[in-house]
Amino acid sequence: MRRQVVKKILNILIIILLLSCILSPFLLAETEKELLKTFDADKKLKLELVLGDCNIEKSTDSKIHLTVRYTYSDEDFKVNISERSKSIHIEEKLSNNPKGYSNWFLSVPDNAEIDFESATGSLSVENTDIELDASSGTGKMELSNCKGEYDLNTGTGRVEVSNSSGEFKLNTGTGRVEITSSEGAFDANSGTGRVHVKKVTILDDSKFNSGTGVVKIESSECNDIIDVTLSSGTGSAILDMSGKKLKGYYELSANNNHGRIVCPVKFDGEEKQNEGDRNRENVRKWFTKDSDFPRYFIQTGTGKAELKL
């Protein structure tokens, strides 16, 4: 009798265990909720997020459409909207260190003005023609098939631009900057990461800089009357002109004692600066081919300044 009771109890425990394994994914599943808003496009939009990622794309009409999908509880998650005559301010508010996520989707018409901020979220922008000022503490920034003016800044994330045209100011503290198959004017900087430019048409004065990373431009072209600067503090600055005819003014510079200049073309002249100061003594060398423009400045402190053919 006692043995039968024990057996029954064990069977019940096994059934409970099996049921908990089967049902636990459903019991623990987060319910996703959705918030939808529409605004007039003649207003400047400011979007401030805490943790949320955001995707911006072209709208199918002349309105601004906001979609927020989230799993936070409504007690811990709020969307504050302040609408004035010329501006819309949308703010993500979180409390009580909640569990969950939020994803934000913006559809905007051409010529919209947007100011985006996120503490840790990433930003993806596709198929737009807008003016965008965006910053994130740690998130990545991506542009694809875009036109317009873009000022992107992230503390530790990477910045990527592809198949786009316009004016671009791109900055990251420790991430890399990648620009491919695009055209326009560029000001690209990384504190410690790589800056890589490929298949790009540079239409106006542009600068590409890294504090300690490699800066490289390859398979790219320039407008005739512009200046292009590649510089790295301790890394290499490389202009790869493989397969292209040299035209313009080329100047390479490096620390005379700690850096290197590599160039397959004979220089027309050279000059030393701060002679006698081992740490600050720089040398610059230059040559001209067929025209005074475009002008290329390839600079490094203690790395390598190189022209490749």
In sequence order, what are the beta bridge partners of 210? 190, 232
Query: Which of 213, 130, 191, 196 lies closest to 164, judged by CA?
Result: 130
Strand ranges inside 111-268, DSSP E: 113-118, 123-126, 129-136, 141-144, 147-154, 159-162, 165-172, 177-180, 183-190, 195-198, 201-202, 206-210, 215-218, 221-222, 227-232, 237-240, 248-255, 260-262
Whether 100 contacts 70, CB under 8 Å: yes
Q: Identify whether the C-beta of residue 287 lies closer than 8 Å to the C-beta of residue 266.
A: yes
Q: What is the largest CA-CA distance in the chain?
A: 106
pTM to 2 decimals?
A: 0.89
pLDDT, residue 274, reads: 83
Hey, what amino acid is at 36? L
pLDDT of residue 7: 58
Q: What is the pLDDT of residue 191?
A: 98
What's the pLDDT score for residue 276? Answer: 72
- pLDDT one-digit tens code per residue, 85-125: 899 999 999 998 889 999 999 999 999 999 999 999 999 99
Residues of the chain with pLDDT under 70: 1-30
Encoded tokens for 215: 């800066």
- Reference 194, options 182, 170, 210; nearest CA is 210
Confidence at residue 130, expressed as pLDDT on a 0 to 100 scale: 98
**H or E element that contains 16:** helix 2-28
What integer best gives the mean pLDDT of the chain? 92
Q: How far apart are CA 298 and CA 300, in angstroms?
A: 7
Q: Is 291 helix (H, G, I), strand (E, B) or coil?
A: strand
Distance CA 222, CA 218 (A): 11
